[in-house]
């Protein structure tokens, strides 16, 4: 019988605190940074954030930013 993963989305976000992630926004912008915190609306605070260009290189250094959860398309380990 197959094992079922009962991990919830917020469990995964919790594990991402202190880790570098890549976040794509609905407008197509990619942001990379270290997750500092998040809330129930999936608003996320990133430290050492950078906007990435199409080639995956840092384009603009943003430092500490708050991303509104409603603008996030996906979050991936960086």
pLDDT in tens, 7-59: 888 888 999 999 999 999 999 999 999 999 999 999 999 999 999 988 788 88
Q: Between 36 and 1, name the one with better pLDDT.
A: 36
C-beta neighbour count of 43 within 10 angstroms: 15
Q: What is the pTM of this model?
A: 0.86
pLDDT at 29: 95
Flag whether pLDDT at 1 surpasses 80: no
> Domains in the chain, ordered, with CATH?
9-77 (2.30.30.100)
Structure-token pair, residue 54: 């199409």
Integer Cα distance of 51 and 30 in angstroms: 6
């Amino acid at each position: 019988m197959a094992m079922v993963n009962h991990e919830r989305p917020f469990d995964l976000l919790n594990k991402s605190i202190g880790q570098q992630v890549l976040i794509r926004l609905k407008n197509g912008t990619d942001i990379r940074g270290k997750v500092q915190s998040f809330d129930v609306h999936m608003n996320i605070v990133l430290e050492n954030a950078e906007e990435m260009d199409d080639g995956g290189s840092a384009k603009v250094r943003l430092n500490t930013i708050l991303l509104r959860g409603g603008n996030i398309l996906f979050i991936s380990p960086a």
